[in-house]
């Protein structure tokens, strides 16, 4: 929910119309996950060299697809080139981390989060400053 909202608020006015879909999906996914986290036990299990955490969520593939659409989709639909690059890098990172996680590599997402943070910093620093009101 927070990623599509942040992208919507930071986007140019002409790009905002296409960002309402990812925000709506993000709110729905956040609602489902919040409800399940508050009503179901969280399960932790050892998976090789890593720990896996989960909660019983019906239709998990649909919830995961909604999560990816809300987060990555909002970035890929943004009007600015930098969020689109970030969305592409994060999509690649999600695929790579999923493959590496299945091979029991721990903390692979941290490396991609560092790259994503650098891209966000570049995007924020590269924007024109807001006009000052006098």
pLDDT digits (tens, 9 = 90+) for 100-126: 766 666 666 677 777 778 888 887 787
26, 4 Cβ separation under 8 angstroms: yes
- The reported pLDDT for the residue numbered 130 is 61
Spatial CA neighbour of 19 closest among 63, 62, 64, 69: 69
Domain range annotation of the chain? 2-126
- The reported pLDDT for the residue numbered 69 is 94
84, 73 Cβ separation under 8 angstroms: no
3-state secondary structure of 69: helix
Residue 42 DSSP class: E
Low pLDDT (below 50) residues in the chain: none
Strands 50-55 and 42-47: antiparallel
- The reported pLDDT for the residue numbered 51 is 75
């Amino acid at each position: 929910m927070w990623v599509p909202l942040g992208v919507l608020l930071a986007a140019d006015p002409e790009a905002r119309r296409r960002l309402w879909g990812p925000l709506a999906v993000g709110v729905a996914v956040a609602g489902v996950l919040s409800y399940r986290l508050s009503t179901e036990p969280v399960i932790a299990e050892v998976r090789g060299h890593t720990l896996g955490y989960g909660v019983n969520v019906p239709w998990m593939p649909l919830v995961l697809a909604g999560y990816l659409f809300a987060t990555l989709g909002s970035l890929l639909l943004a009007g600015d080139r930098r969020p689109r690059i970030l969305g592409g890098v994060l999509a690649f990172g999600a695929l790579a981390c999923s493959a590496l996680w299945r091979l029991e590599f721990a903390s692979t997402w941290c490396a991609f989060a560092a790259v994503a943070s650098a891209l966000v910093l570049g995007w924020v620093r590269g924007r024109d400053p807001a006009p000052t009101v006098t």
